Chain A
Amino acid sequence: MMERRWNLLTGEWVMVSAFTQARPTNPTNFCPLCPGGDEFEGDYDLVSFDNRYPSMKLDAPEVESEGIYQKARSNGKCEVVVYTIDHESAMSMMPIHQIEKLIRMWADRYLDLAQNRFIKYVFIFENRGKEVGATLPHPHGQLYAFPFIPKRIEAKLQALAKYYDENGRCAVCDIVDSEVKFEKRIIYENESFIALVPFYARWPYEVHIYPKRHVSTIVELTNIERYHLSKALKVVTMKYDLLFKQAFPYMMMLFQAPVNDISYSHAFHFHIEFNPVKRDKDKIKWMASVETGTWAFINPKIPEEAAKELRNVEVEV
């Protein structure tokens, strides 16, 4: 069974999938992403493939609504995005050149999936570490190509479009200007990107990466900007690992303009959010009732202090 159900109480889609439940828990003695594992017989460089346990499929079955309860087809895509053949690697350990290749693959996936007219949002992300539910340590992320615009994305679009209306400028462009002047929340900066703990951070060591130039998707970055982004990704993930001297668990999410829908591309500024769940070396910041139920976060860490700690973690790339 695979379908979408409309939540009448919140006005959002919920994906229900029996396939997702069938996925295995953390295997310990083999890696399905290494050559010779379940998915690959031989070598590869980078690969993006259909998840064996998806919550959406391009050819998802037709469904019928039930009385007051509205259902819809889960006609989307769930892909596993494998960064490298090297099982022991991670974004923080990968050569910058490999991250550039990954960015190019992300761009291709975004454009490729956008060709399905019913796809409205391509969400690229990585869950790293068992603390955020990652089932495999092999360096990989995922992507969900949704047939609708998810609720939080809709909220971002509306907020950014409203800011543009009121100010005639993109909010993130203004944030970049303001943070560059303020300096104290920036943890890394290069010619094309800044990485910072945002003023409005929800997680203790939350970091956002913003392009300095207004682009609404990763596709619009030039080749040199993609190189600068790969450096920013490498530096941020290295700082994370060195902060508590451990493989730092995080959720990394790419926010790009919708596809085949209203994109507000003048107002929507591409960005990457890192949402790490640790608040100290051995302490987890749990997303519990308040966060989950209301979307209201309580951050125990003052963003400027988090930024200082992360800025002071010295890395060389």
Chain B
Amino acid sequence: MYVSSLSEIRKIMGYRQCDGYEILLEVSKIPSGYKITGEVKGRVDDVELFSFPRPDKVLVNNWQSWGPARVITKEFKLDFPKELIQKFGFSASIMPEVYFNNLISDYFIASEEFVIGALKSQIGHVYFRLNDDNVSVHSRYFGKTFHEWTPIEPVVILNLAPDDGLFYYAELIAKENDIAFSSHNPIGWSSWYQYYLDYDYQKMVSDLDKSKELDLGYEVFQIDDAWEVDIGDWIPNEKFPSLKEMADKIASYGYKPGIWLAPFSISETSSVFKNHPDWLVKDEYGLPVVAYENWNKKIYALDTTHPEAIEWLRKLFITLKESGFDYFKIDFLFAGAIQGRRYAENTSPVEAYRNGLKVIREAVGDSFVLGCGAPLLPSVGFVDGMRIGADTAPYWDPNAPDIGYPNAYYALRNVITRAFMNNILWWNDPDCLMLRKEDTQINDAQRELYTLVSLFLDNMIIQSDNLSYEIDMKLWKLIKKYKTYGRRRFKIKGLIDGKYTITSCGVNGCDEVIIEELTIPQYMVSYDTPRVELKKIVEKRTDGRTFNYYEETHQ
């Protein structure tokens, strides 16, 4: 149904009988907007809830971590290299057959006048199709049959510009899903953006030693890809000792041991692929579906509805945890949500994905879980941290294809456009800071701005450098100083026009960075000047009470 203005949204209320299913929609008033709820019964593939006039400039969002969240105008054309569609189609979309033939935005869309977004993705996938003159709002259930009347994924329409509206939207999502996540936002180190696959135990020990020498103050030390025998065979290869030895070594430096894996990915060369073909998501002919290609291999998807696959997944994480790992970066998660046939037949890709995440969360308990390459909204409530942009890289290229490929520029763009999720849905992971001054094409301004934005937005701070290189210690000192201030409140102005003002407030006052032009980048920073400096000393008394002493320090 078309509404000529969003103020007419009540017109969509009521019962509709569609091809194979029935739907009942309700619209209720909430502060600054409306909430659309409803129920559905029957076999449902794709429901168009309503459509409305398309504004010229909109902020559109991709479904998963690496995908772009960017402002586009009516002139915008999707420019995804054709040769990569086969390899990375499911990375770009949960429904590549729709994505590559239309312009779409997943979960939410915003303009200078409104924010419209889904509050949940537990069964279905809410997306927006940008047609020539209108935007249609869809809820996709991938052919699932609902035998009883079942609530649809609720959607809100907020009559607020995104600078305010997106933050309100995130709070509505958190409330709707009643989420909880770690109150601790860690600072640490990861191996990936220095060593990639060229990593071994000696290098790990060398950086552990160096980190103490430099007194970097990490809480987490996380080894990334390179330690495993194969994607799907999560046992250490010949370059590493046992899991327990690795974790014990990291813990002996006082750090929380962290490990990377891609739990829903199964490579064609792995023993899981050879021995358990029934554990994989299949196509209509019963053949395993290629989820993506990477490591010069075809990668298949674990069927997270298969009882044996679930038990394998559960044991995998229990083993990792028992070995001493307490921080899990789980990557390429979109593989768990590809379309296909699964053991539990009447399961949507979203439900299957959430089932996999639930198993992991149950296995690791309150360990820190960082989602990556992850469908955003279905992950809400299962992860403590979430990557919210493309991989960073030791280069800054505003002219590269904007398709979620490694690139520091696009990574930082998303850090800003998805900042509203931070500390409301999870801790945003801006991706690693590379603070080395050698073996990189990143210049001083790019490095400084990446660090400032991550700090000012109170994001996770994880460094990825060979610590034997010259490190920009001026920036690391700034990071350590900021961390002593505690948590922050921040605001962003300019999400639609692209000239960003980020104000970051904490006990030290309000600092500000104005980004005139992100591509170069061109920016100005102003630090608020504290008039009083207080040092906090926390005392735990024997009766269980906490005393927070604040004492003036003169600097």
Contact = CB atoms under 8 A, between A and B. Distances in A.
Most buried by B among A46, A52, A227: A46
Interface string B454-494: 00000000000000000000000000000000111101000
Nearest to B29: A165
Contact of A45 (B168, B489, B550): B550
B548 A111 contact: no
B489 A220 contact: yes
B531 A223 contact: yes
B254 interface: no
B487 to A, nearest CB: 4
B484 to A, nearest CB: 11
Interface string A92-117: 00000100110011011101101111
A108 B172 contact: no
Given A158-B31, A165-B32, A50 B171 contact: no
B107 to A, nearest CB: 19
Contact of A100 (B180, B529, B532): B532
Contact of B486 (A101, A111, A224): A111
Contacts of A101: 532, 534, 550, 552
B175 interface: yes
Contacts of A260: 174
B19 interface: no
Interface of B is mostly: mixed
B545 interface: yes
Contacts of A263: 168, 171
A114 B506 CA distance: 13
A197 to B, nearest CB: 29
Contact of A223 (B491, B529, B549, B550): B529
Interface in B135-175: 159-160, 164, 167-168, 171-172, 174-175
B521 interface: no
Interface string B490-526: 0100000000000101111110000000000000000
Nearest to B539: A49
Interface string B528-539: 111110101000
A217 B31 CA distance: 20
A164 interface: yes
A108 B486 contact: yes
A5 interface: no
A47 B528 contact: no
B546 interface: yes
Contacts of A153: none
18 contacts: A45-B549, A45-B551, A46-B549, A49-B545, A52-B545, A97-B532, A100-B531, A104-B534, A111-B489, A114-B487, A219-B489, A219-B506, A219-B507, A220-B505, A221-B510, A223-B530, A262-B171, A262-B175
Given A101-B532, A262-B168, A266-B164, 5 more contacts: A46-B551, A49-B547, A49-B548, A97-B532, A107-B506
Interface of B: 31-32, 159-160, 164, 167-168, 171-172, 174-175, 180-181, 183, 486-489, 491, 503, 505-510, 528-532, 534, 536, 544-552
Interface of A: 44-50, 52, 97, 100-101, 104-105, 107-109, 111-112, 114-118, 158, 161-162, 164-165, 217, 219-224, 226-227, 260-267
